[in-house]
């Protein structure tokens, strides 16, 4: 993707920037396709010089300006319609990905409630079956407790009292 962005030039603590058209994969101060202007933030007011014909040409070709460059373009008097339209494309792509993720999450959430009633029905049908089994186990458990309790008093009765 081709972007219109700032390329830092100048010395330490005294930045100035070139407005360049560059491949988005290249580093900030790396190779670029074309210089379309410059920006000096240290002057009062900041100096913004942009070749409008080249900027419009690259915007129409599909170059995406960064947010900073978009604000510089609008301050330089470039048509806000072109800049806002090009920025909308970037935000639309980002929001499109987010909306796709949300839609997928909603689809999963919608699918889960449909499967929950089926699971609840399955639990409901197995629950009555498990209760009689539990009741049959509980008498056996009570019988073994009663047997151990009945044995204990018999042993205490057989012991002679001293």
**SS3 letters for 77-94?**
CCCHHHHHHHHHHHHHHH
Residue 122 lies in a domain: no
Is 63:38 a contact under the CB 8 Å cutoff?
Answer: no
Per the prediction, the chain carries an average pLDDT of 75
Is residue 73 one of the residues assigned to a domain?
A: yes
CATH code, domain carrying 20: 3.30.1320.10
110 is a domain residue: no
In a domain? residue 138: no
pLDDT tens for 131-161 read 555 455 555 555 555 555 555 555 555 666 6
Q: Is residue 82 part of a domain?
A: yes
C-alpha–C-alpha distance, residues 131 and 63, integer Å: 70
pTM for the model stands at 0.51
Indicate whether 143 belongs to any domain. Answer: no
Q: For the chain, how many structural domains are there in total?
A: 1
Instruction: Give the model's confidence band at 77: pLDDT under 50 very low, under 70 low, under 90 confident, else very high.
Output: confident
First-to-last CA distance in the chain? 102
Give the Cα separation of 132 and 126 in Å (integer).
Answer: 11
Residue 76 pLDDT: 85
Tokens of 50: 């942009």
Asked if residues 39 and 72 have their Cβ atoms less than 8 Å apart, the reply is yes
Is 131 a domain residue? no
On whether residue 38 sits in a domain, the answer given is yes
Identify the domain containing residue 38 by its residue range: 2-97
């Amino acid at each position: 993707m081709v972007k219109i962005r700032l390329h830092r030039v100048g010395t330490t603590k005294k930045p100035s920037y070139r407005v360049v058209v560059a491949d988005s994969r290249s580093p900030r101060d790396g190779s670029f396709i074309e210089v379309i202007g410059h920006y000096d933030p240290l002057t009062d007011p900041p100096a913004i010089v942009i070749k409008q014909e080249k900027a419009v040409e690259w915007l129409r070709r599909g170059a995406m300006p960064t947010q900073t460059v978009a604000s510089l373009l609008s301050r330089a008097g470039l048509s806000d319609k072109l800049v806002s339209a090009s920025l909308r494309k970037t935000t639309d792509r980002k929001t499109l990905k987010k909306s796709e993720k949300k839609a997928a999450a909603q689809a999963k959430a919608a699918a889960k409630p449909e499967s929950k009633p089926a699971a609840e029905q399955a639990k409901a049908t197995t629950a009555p079956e498990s209760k009689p089994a539990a009741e049959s186990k509980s008498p056996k458990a009570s019988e073994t407790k009663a047997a151990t309790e009945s044995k204990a008093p018999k042993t205490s009765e057989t012991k002679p009292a001293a």
